[in-house]
Amino acid sequence: MSRQTLAVWKFASCDGCQLSLLDCEDELLLLAERVEIANFVEASSAIVEMPTHPYDISIVEGSITTAHDAERIREVRRNSRVLITIGACATAGGIQALRNFADVEDFTAIVYASPDYISTLRTSTPISAHVPVDFELNGCPIDKRQLLEVIGAHLAGRRPRVRAHSVCVECKRRGTVCVMVAHGTPGLGPVTHAGCGAICPSYDRGCYGCYGPMETPNTEALSARMAQLGCEEIDLVRVYRTFNAGASAFQRASEAHEAHGVDGGGA
Ligand code: SF4
Ligand code: SF4
């Protein structure tokens, strides 16, 4: 049986999600029996060019922040049969989407000694804003078991078994006491996509939403509860503006609290 070809592409990102794939180690050897890793510059300089056929599976990390990358992702899409995006950068614009709420020139002026050399877009946007995407895998970084499930599912021609429920369900499954109920610790667990195994609450920390919004997040109810726990409007703006600030549910929530704070409705 011929192996399917796999390509991994990087856009604006920290490489942490690609490292999750390298971190698979033993599983990578098994995977290599089923797929030919044809293009993965983080792992190897050997690249298999595909002049006549598209890559069977392309995995994309990172967001679109330059005009050049906006063109490059279209080329990747043309050269890919299946395109999977991985991580908060690729699925929601990443931490760099904080520029979407400000003037990017203010940031470049502070960060770079010679900002005139910087050519960048005003926004950081997810891959799905530019090309059709076959599957989005959340996380910052992603979970390697979920990544293997997604790749394996596409190799087998079935739907990936990636649940869309909240981190709260994961806490219940592992028997972790709710930090919000028991200790009054604010957190985004009730509106955050599962996948991490509820790591932070297991260390008595609130979830800060690195897996992005779950399928049907009730941010209004959660915000009301966090306000009862002492969060002010500015805290609620900030809590939704981290790795997944550009995810629509978190963006709407942060903008609502920002407007409420400006209107004087907040504390
Ligand atoms: S989602 Fe997080 S870990 Fe993955 S590339 Fe972006 S910043 Fe890095
Ligand atoms: S912040 Fe939330 S989603 Fe991220 S690892 Fe912690 S518990 Fe999981």
Say which CATH number the domain at 138 has. 3.40.50.700
Q: Write out the residue range of the structural domain in which residue 196 sits.
A: 167-263
Residues 146 and 172 in one domain: no
Distance (Å, rounded) from C-alpha 191 to C-alpha 213? 6
Ligand 2 centroid distance, CA of 65 (Å): 25
- Which helix (DSSP H) or strand (DSSP E) does residue 160 occupy? none
| pLDDT of res. 52 | 84
| pLDDT of res. 11 | 98
Q: Which ligand is nearest to the CA of 18?
A: 1
Ligand 2 centroid distance, CA of 140 (Å): 9
* Total tally of structural domains belonging to the chain: 2
Q: Which of 84, 98, 125, 140 to mutate to test the pocket of ligand 1 (most atoms within 8 A of CB)?
A: 140
Q: Is the CB of 88 under 6 A from ligand 1?
A: yes
Residues 62 and 109 in one domain: yes
| pLDDT of res. 1 | 65
Burial 226-241 (b: 16+ CB within 10 A, else e): bbeeebebebbbebbb
Ligand 2 centroid distance, CA of 77 (Å): 30
Q: Is the CB of 17 under 6 A from ligand 1?
A: yes
Structure-token pair, residue 170:
């994961």
Q: Which of 108, 137, 156 is the last residue of a domain?
A: 156
Ligand 1 centroid distance, CA of 52 (Å): 32
The pTM for the full model equals: 0.93
Residues 17 and 146 in one domain: yes
Asked if 124 and 94 touch (Cβ cutoff 8 Å), the reply is: yes
Q: Which ligand is nearest to the CA of 185?
A: 2
Show the ligand 2 pocket: residues with CB < 6 angstroms: 167, 192, 196, 198-201, 207-211
Q: Which of 156, 188, 204 is the last residue of a domain?
A: 156
Asked if 46 and 77 touch (Cβ cutoff 8 Å), the reply is: no
**Residue 203: other Cβ atoms inside 10 A:** 9
Structure-token pair, residue 142:
């992603």
Residues 144 and 187 in one domain: no
pLDDT tens track, the chain, 267 positions? 688 999 999 999 999 999 999 998 888 888 888 899 999 998 888 888 887 889 999 999 999 999 999 999 999 999 999 999 999 999 999 999 999 999 999 999 999 999 999 999 999 999 999 999 999 999 999 999 999 999 999 999 999 999 889 999 999 999 999 999 999 999 999 999 999 999 999 999 999 999 999 999 999 999 999 999 999 999 999 999 999 999 999 999 999 999 987 776 543
Residue 35 φ then ψ, to 5°: -130, 150
Nearest CA to ligand 2 atom 4: 210
Q: Which ligand is nearest to the CA of 197?
A: 2
Q: Which ligand is nearest to the CA of 205?
A: 2
